[in-house]
Structure 1
Amino acid sequence: MALVRGISGDEIAALETGWTLALCAPDAATTPAEAEALTGWLPAPVPGTVAQALRAAGRWSLGQPGDLHDQDAWYRLRFAATGPQTLRLEGLATLAEVFLDGEPVLVSHSMFLCHEVDFTGTGRHALAIRFKALNPALASAKGPRPRWRPMMITPGSLRLIRTTPLGHMPGWSPPVATVGPWRAITCTTRRAPLRVAALSLLPRLDGQTGILDADIRFDRAVATPVELACAGAGIALDRIAPDRFAGRLVLDGIAPWWPHTHGEPALHAAAIRAGETTIDLGRVGFRRLELDRGGDGTGFGLIVNGQPVFCRGASWMPPDPVALGSGDPLPLLALARDAGMNMLRISGTTAPASQVFHDACDALGILVWQDLPFANFDYPAADPAFAGLVEAEACQLLDRLQASPSAAIVCGGSEIAQQAVMLGLTPAQTANPLFDDLFPRLTAEHAGQAIYLPHTPWGGPLPFAANQGVTHYFGVGAYCRPIEDVRRAQVRFASECLAFANVPSPARLRASTVRDPNDIDWKAGVPRDAGAGWDFEDTRDHYVGLLSGLDPAALRIDDPERYLALGRAAPAEVMEAVFAEWRRPGSSCAGGLVWFLNDLAPGAGWGVIDAAGEPKSTYFALKRAFRPVHVGLTDEGLNGFGIHLVNETTDTRDLTLVLACYGETPHPLVKTETALTLAPRSATSLSSDALIGRFFDITHAYRFGPPAHDATVARLVDPDGAVVAEAVHVLPGRAAAPRDIGLQAQVEMRDGGAALRVSTDRFARFVTIDDDHFEAGDQGFCLTPGESRLIPLTAKTAKPVPRGRIQALNGHSVAYGDVS
């Protein structure tokens, strides 16, 4: 049933306060009466987890998490309710028994299921929930013999119990046990004269006309007219049966919903009225979504409202894995949108996101790739109880997404067929009716506006083939391939890519307990794949060596700060180079999602935003790479640079393309300025050789001598002189040694806010700003000789004074602010 936000007359109370919890040995207390004798009750947040409550009490930390899956947890609450009531429990992790006034009313076997319990309130009531210890259940779980045994998620019996893999993936996620009412619990006083028994709500766009189909069934016969209203218009629904009504509302000239990179994500309030009763359906968006398989039938791209959309973004992780269902997603989503991300993926290795997340993606214009909560395992599709359980899960999740314009992709799960094939099976042997039959049917029935695919990766002769369908591309990255592999691989769509151990800012490291890369505990914050003899810091160091010409292992010991500075730069520059290749006209790629938007724990994690919510240098690199108006540079060897210009907006842009090469002197060795007009929704490629008009070994491909320059800078500049987009290419090993480049910084106060004026006499590579009390609005940017740039500063503490240091990769550190 599509999501009903509320019914007039009903009163929804969130049961959030007054909860307490206690822990005990498995089966030490099996009824609320026995649980009352437990000691050590402590306040508990709801929605929340046991770990969250213990953390608030100072009894839990990532360094000492204990194993909460070895214990039972009891939650209890007393609350008032009178008259007809519906108790709604949106998520219980994981094996739960619910008691109302001492009587059992519910048993749950899945953390992904929402439950409702009707009762008559008579005053004060006692609600108790027992969460049974997971480890004994995992030890005794029995199922059919798996056809493959993945290493990443342990133990293997997790495939039989419906809970998140988070906390069960060593080297991948922190050891956080998800136990408790991780999603909201509410109690609704039923004062409305009716309830909704079934609802289908399907918005779509046909040309410039919005179409909203509705089909509603009530819990009783309704004699009054029933109307559907949206965007200031309405119609009377047809009576199909005494309790059922259906109809179509046609909205000419409706403002369509777009991904924010391509237009406005217009939303329109919708409601159904039955007499004096209003059913709030929230806000809907009208868009048309199509799958583009390319001319050869093996590609994978999205067309929104008739316009091809290059999808770029990252894999979303819970903002706080300890507060899995209650962490606020809005700050991270705002950062994602500001970075130009137009798609986020919910991986099957995590847990479905909150309704707040999906509502915000609708409003912000961010497409959502939704994996169903499955990953890696051979799931027991032939077990009727298991199949029925996951069908109910999928129906509930897909119903929540039914009218959401941001819901674009529904995927059966993560790396399921890939694991099987890599462990020796043929692709045909990986077939599973859950992903091949059940879930595509349910997606069509419950969320027909979304595109379904069975797995990610998927689509080639082997499921992880890069040049067909959807891939997890780690050629550049984990597999240490050269940048040229990006084109050679002919990626069609990368739903995972570019995983590096991304180093947090110096300020964040100073605030952490582990700040030295030579510290024995440093590696605890570095992700790795189970069974691999390397980790993702080794991957990062490989590209540090390629780009700087230095030995990262020696540098780590001799100069740790320099090692970290280069470690921040290398992944950032690689990411910009990869997306320049993928966004160029003629590229086979229609999208790329970086692996991890945000870290799950402190340290050099996969995220481009750290665990405290502060962007890393790679975030700002993606922000440059993801601009709707974009310039990219690709090394075409003897043919110089390809300069690729993209305008995804609906506006014509009159701009100047400035191309210049810089060495150690203040003067450009080559500089051209070309006036051009970028038409709406256009992309074009130019040649550096054609723009320069004479021989200049701009890529150092001919190598007739030492390079004449260090860096090439391409910029799009508007008529006011503002830089709209820029791309920088630095020759390997160049502009990597600190020297005096005349870098300067001056604090300025503007409109009550602080900013930093940064300037340089010579080319400055990868300029970073280090301030304990302010976040800089840009990091890792380059400056041309004589340039001055104003970088906004956002305060992190109360009444701070800007004071810190700036540094370029090829320059010395310079202090700014009050340094007394």
Structure 2
Amino acid sequence: MARLHAVTGRCVTPLSEGWELCVTEPGAVPGGDWLPAPVPGTVAQALRAAGLYRLGDPLPLHDRDVWYRLRLTGEVACTLRFHGLATVTEVWLDGKRILSSDSMFQSHDVPVTLCGTHALRLVFRALNPVLKGRNGRGRWPVRLAEPAGLRAVRTTLLGHMPGWCPPVPVVGPWRPVELITEDGPLRVRSADLRATLEGRDGRLSLTLAADWGGSARPPGWLEVGEARAPLRWTGQGELSGELRLPEIEPWWPHSHGKPTLHAVRASVGDARVGLGRTGFRRIEREPGDGFALRINGERVFCRGACWSSPDIVALPGTRDAYAPWLELARQAGMTMLRVPGIAAYEADAFFDLCDAMGILVWQDFMFANFDYPADEPFLDGVRQEAAQFLDRVQASPSLAVLCGGSEAEQQAAMLGLPRERWSQPLFDTVLRDEAERGRPDVPYIANSPTGGPLPFAADAGVTHYYGVGAYLRPLEDARRANVRFASECLAFANMPAAGALPGVPAVHDPRWKARVPRDPGAPWDFEDVRDHYLRTLHGGDPMILRYEDPDRYARLSRAVTGEVMEAVFAEWRRAGSSCAGGLVWMFQDVWPGAGWGVVDSAGVPKAAWYALHRAFRPVQVLLTDEGVNGLAIHLLNETAEPVEAVLTLTALRRGEVPVLRAERSLTLPPRSAHAMPASSLADRFIDLTGAYRFGPPTHDSVVAALSDPRSGALVADAFHFLQGGRMERAELGLGARVERTDEGWALILSSRRLARSVHIEDDGFRGEEEWFHLPPGKERRLRLIQRHPGAAVPDGEVHALNGLDPTRYRWTA
């Protein structure tokens, strides 16, 4: 049902101040050691604020009880609303238990009457004794998370996955606690709001379950802008109506159009009900054995990453906590984020921001890997959990996919169980029914991955594609595997910037290695995977390089994972590709180090983020090596408008001397993708890919660029190197100067020879673009972004992987 943002006569008071907590032995009465506690928040967050906890230290809260207390004062009949209690919880008011809960994913309303001053207590019982008392045995073992009893308890797997994330126990009132009073004739119990796009018209339907305290029930109105339609009372105590909006401006992902939102209101007599904002869009799954989405009739290539949390300790749910992370996702060109089943449901603010930014959300229900109970009490709790979540996001246009959970089918199949045991009623029936009831406009899939003769087959349904990645396949496998949709892919230990893990030397130190992700029980980790591609693309032995030139090793390590990601997405986005989407595992790190994230835990983009920023451009040029057919140029325009551009193709010898330069003016139709042979631009034969080997190559690199015909500004570029990642280091003639602008600072770069993986090192600033290739004779202007508020004047170095020495820059008046 829709989120009721404002209802006349309803007073919602957040109970966020004055809380204290005390940690005790299981079953013990709290003593005198009480600490201030943030609510919403977690126990680990409170201990961190008090200087009693540091991320990575042991914190045995699952072996302790934790008490929260608050004094309540009032003279009113009201409702206590608990949006989320983690996890086995009792709520006591003046010594009387008023609620018991064993799910952190359910909210609860408890009616109470306040008469003066009252003592409110929340008791979070030790989880480990509860788990020991549950039947933890399923039909298959699970290494991902421990202990096995987690299958029967509704709590997040974050903090329970050794090798994946730090063991942070999620305990406490992690979502808001509110006191709700109502004064006025209208009492809204629930609202069911449905927004759909039918052709070019919007259709909005609303059902309010409501009570009217007056003598006669007045009529109501449903309103969007100046448009309105009547709401009529039914015999079941409901107000119902429908509003049609001709030629409505639809909602689009930001890559394909404008994510237009419309404010929705209802009025009943003098009462006003604010229903937030919604967007009108139509989302459909394409028929066939693959998985592809059409938005408003247009096929959308979904690209982005899998989400963890802005802060694994606090699991915050505020707009301020989400906004900088989601803005980085939008800036990178990501059109979809997946909230995986190992994480937690995000708060309303997450979906509000995704709605406004035009970012699609693939939402797993919070289930992963386990064989879950099939008894009715457990499934009834799941139904309530799913219904409450779907009620919250009923009006959200960004919700694009609902998925039963993560890797349960895969787990069963990979362990060799018979095919009939791969499925579970939880996914095939219970969650499917709730999804169809709550959001019939959103495609549902039972599990991720799923489809094909095996759940993890890449060429059918949805896959978790780690062919290029953990399985060490060559880059060509991205095409050979015929990937249809990768809801997970390209997991690497992405190297952060120098100093991201203060005081810990990279790679060899045990404290560094402890934070490198690994699959439990595997004799390798994801730095080994990264080293494999460093060796494959750049040559040489990474171990020897680390011995002899650790700085060079670190720079190549930062660059190589982004190079792999760019190459794979070029393959998947090319004209004629079978792939309809890819989501990198993962978006952000959960703690400092070389984690899976393309953004580090402090919110600083890594080299891989910059690579995805280029790979995800909505107007794009790509180059693919088609063997003896030569080099193919792929031109993409996802926007709603035609794009006028100049295509330039240049072949360079030693990165400097042009042996071929061809140019063509063209128009890219809206929402189009097409390919052309690079040889069609030249007036003579030149072996651009070195396929025929008629003597030594005449060149070592090829550059394709799209530019604006009026301003000459670069729109997109692509590079092909005949020796792959291998490069000769030379004096490049790399130049850098700094200018002050009305918007801040700009860095202007130029190079005499093609400079590869250009990046800056500046304690106070980072570039809006980094780790890019800079062709000779072209200036590149970068906006500089402050790393911290105290950064005043740029003063740093520009590096290129194929350069001998960095170029120093500083601003002087």
Unaligned runs of 5+ in 2: none
Segments of 4+ in structure 1 off by > 4 A? none
SS at match of 1:98: strand
Q: Find 1:339's aligned residue among 332, 343, 359.
A: 332
Q: Which range moved further: 69-78 or 214-223?
A: 214-223
The one-letter code matched in structure 2 to 1:538 is D
Q: Find 2:665's aligned residue among 675, 693, 717.
A: 675
Which residue in the other structure is 2:745 paired with? 754
Which residue in the other structure is 1:455 paired with? 447
Matches within 5 A, 1:340-355: 340-355=333-348
Q: Give distance in 2, aligned partners of 1:172 and 1:287.
A: 36
Q: How far off its partner does 1:732 sit? A: 3.4
Q: Give distance in 1, aligned partners of 2:62 and 2:571.
A: 46
Which residue in the other structure is 2:769 paired with? 778
Which residue in the other structure is 2:63 paired with? 70
Which residue in the other structure is 1:795 paired with? 786
Which residue in the other structure is 2:19 paired with? 19
Q: How far off its partner does 1:759 sit? A: 1.3
Which residue in the other structure is 1:282 paired with? 276
Which residue in the other structure is 1:32 paired with? none
Q: How far off its partner does 1:791 sit? A: 1.1
Q: Find 1:438's aligned residue among 430, 434, 458.
A: 430
Q: Find 1:695's aligned residue among 685, 697, 712.
A: 685
Residues 240-273 of structure 1 show CA distances to partners (whole Å, capped at 9, x for unaligned) of 2161121211111111111111111111111221
SS at match of 2:510: coil
Instruction: Mark the CA change 1:686 to 1:388 in structure 2 (over 3 Å): closer, same or farther.
Output: same
Q: Find 2:476's aligned residue among 470, 478, 484.
A: 484
8 A contact 1:494–1:591 mirrored in 2 = yes
Q: Give distance in 2, aligned partners of 1:424 and 1:666.
A: 56
8 A contact 1:549–1:732 mirrored in 2 = no
Pairwise CA RMSD: 1.6
Which residue in the other structure is 2:735 paired with? 744
Q: Find 1:263's aligned residue among 242, 249, 257.
A: 257
The one-letter code matched in structure 2 to 1:28 is A
Which residue in the other structure is 1:601 paired with? 591
8 A contact 2:539–2:726 mirrored in 1 = no
Q: Find 2:156's aligned residue among 161, 164, 177.
A: 164
Matches within 5 A, 1:139-218: 139-142=132-135, 145-218=137-210
Q: Give distance in 2, aligned partners of 1:63 and 1:20.
A: 24
8 A contact 1:201–1:213 mirrored in 2 = yes
Q: Give distance in 2, aligned partners of 1:113 and 1:63.
A: 28
The one-letter code matched in structure 2 to 1:397 is F
Which residue in the other structure is 2:323 paired with? 330
Q: Give distance in 2, aligned partners of 1:71 and 1:581.
A: 51
Q: Identity percentage over the alignment?
A: 52
SS at match of 2:568: helix
Which residue in the other structure is 1:475 paired with? 467
Q: Find 1:115's aligned residue among 102, 108, 112.
A: 108
Q: How far off its partner does 1:219 sit? A: 3.8
Q: Which range moved further: 329-338 or 739-748?
A: 739-748
Q: Give distance in 1, aligned partners of 2:426 and 2:401.
A: 17
Q: Which range moved further: 83-92 or 410-419?
A: 83-92
The one-letter code matched in structure 2 to 1:244 is E
Residues 374-419 of structure 1 show CA distances to partners (whole Å, capped at 9, x for unaligned) of 00000011x2211111111011011112111011100000001000
Q: Give distance in 1, aligned partners of 2:745 and 2:247.
A: 44
The one-letter code matched in structure 2 to 1:324 is L
Matched, 1:251 2:245: yes
Which residue in the other structure is 1:629 paired with? 619
Instruction: Mark the CA change 1:265 to 1:104 in structure 2 (over 3 Å): closer, same or farther.
Output: same
Q: How far off its partner does 1:537 sit? A: 0.8
Q: Give distance in 1, aligned partners of 2:317 and 2:231.
A: 38
Q: Give distance in 2, aligned partners of 1:737 and 1:85.
A: 73
8 A contact 2:59–2:168 mirrored in 1 = no
Q: Give distance in 1, aligned partners of 2:515 and 2:746.
A: 32
Q: How far off its partner does 1:735 sit? A: 5.4
Matched, 1:389 2:347: no
Matches within 5 A, 1:214-233: 214-219=206-211, 223-233=217-227
8 A contact 2:317–2:350 mirrored in 1 = no
The one-letter code matched in structure 2 to 1:779 is E
The one-letter code matched in structure 2 to 1:746 is R
Which residue in the other structure is 2:8 paired with? 8
Q: How far off its partner does 1:507 sit? A: 5.2
Q: How far off its partner does 1:14 sit? A: 1.2
Q: How far off its partner does 1:546 sit? A: 1.4
The one-letter code matched in structure 1 to 2:504 is V
The one-letter code matched in structure 1 to 2:49 is A
Q: How far off its partner does 1:126 sit? A: 2.2
8 A contact 2:655–2:701 mirrored in 1 = no
Which residue in the other structure is 1:367 paired with? 360
Which residue in the other structure is 1:529 paired with? 519
Q: Give distance in 1, aligned partners of 2:703 and 2:420.
A: 49
Q: Give distance in 2, aligned partners of 1:521 and 1:709.
A: 45
The one-letter code matched in structure 1 to 2:780 is R
Q: Find 2:629's aligned residue among 621, 639, 643.
A: 639
Q: Give distance in 1, aligned partners of 2:518 and 2:244.
A: 52
Q: Which range moved further: 78-87 or 703-712?
A: 703-712
SS at match of 1:237: strand
SS at match of 2:186: coil
Instruction: Mark the CA change 1:683 to 1:241 in structure 2 (over 3 Å): closer, same or farther.
Output: same
Q: How far off its partner does 1:321 sit? A: 0.3
Q: Give distance in 2, aligned partners of 1:693 and 1:537.
A: 46
8 A contact 2:754–2:775 mirrored in 1 = yes
8 A contact 1:710–1:735 mirrored in 2 = no
Q: How far off its partner does 1:124 sit? A: 2.8
Q: Which range moved further: 219-228 or 4-13?
A: 219-228
Matched, 1:575 2:569: no
8 A contact 2:56–2:167 mirrored in 1 = no
Which residue in the other structure is 1:816 paired with? 809
Q: Which range moved further: 728-737 or 585-594?
A: 728-737
Q: Which range moved further: 684-693 or 622-631?
A: 684-693
Q: Find 1:768's aligned residue among 756, 759, 767.
A: 759
Q: How far off its partner does 1:752 sit? A: 5.3
SS at match of 1:748: strand
Q: How far off its partner does 1:685 sit? A: 0.4
8 A contact 2:151–2:372 mirrored in 1 = yes
The one-letter code matched in structure 1 to 2:800 is A
Q: How far off its partner does 1:818 sit? A: 6.8
Q: Give distance in 2, aligned partners of 1:705 and 1:242.
A: 85
Which residue in the other structure is 1:130 paired with? 123
Q: Give distance in 2, aligned partners of 1:81 and 1:687.
A: 76
The one-letter code matched in structure 1 to 2:72 is F
Q: Find 1:235's aligned residue among 221, 224, 229.
A: 229
Q: Give distance in 2, aligned partners of 1:332 and 1:146.
A: 37
Matches within 5 A, 1:715-726: 715-719=705-709, 720-726=711-717
Q: How far off its partner does 1:758 sit? A: 1.4
Unaligned runs of 5+ in 1: 30-34
Q: Which range moved further: 320-329 or 384-393?
A: 320-329
8 A contact 2:195–2:280 mirrored in 1 = yes
Q: Find 1:310's aligned residue among 296, 301, 312.
A: 301
Q: TM-score, normalised by structure 2?
A: 0.97
Q: Find 1:378's aligned residue among 337, 358, 371.
A: 371
Residues 447-468 of structure 1 show CA distances to partners (whole Å, capped at 9, x for unaligned) of 1121100000011111111000
Instruction: Mark the CA change 1:555 to 1:235 in structure 2 (over 3 Å): closer, same or farther.
Output: same
Q: Give distance in 2, aligned partners of 1:420 and 1:249.
A: 47
8 A contact 1:518–1:556 mirrored in 2 = no
Q: How far off its partner does 1:163 sit? A: 0.4
Q: Give distance in 2, aligned partners of 1:284 and 1:82.
A: 37
Q: Give distance in 2, aligned partners of 1:573 and 1:799.
A: 30
Q: Give distance in 1, aligned partners of 2:293 and 2:546.
A: 43
Q: Give distance in 2, aligned partners of 1:594 and 1:785.
A: 32
8 A contact 1:7–1:192 mirrored in 2 = no
Q: Give distance in 2, aligned partners of 1:608 and 1:27.
A: 43
8 A contact 1:715–1:725 mirrored in 2 = yes
Give the total of aligned pairs: 805
8 A contact 1:514–1:522 mirrored in 2 = yes
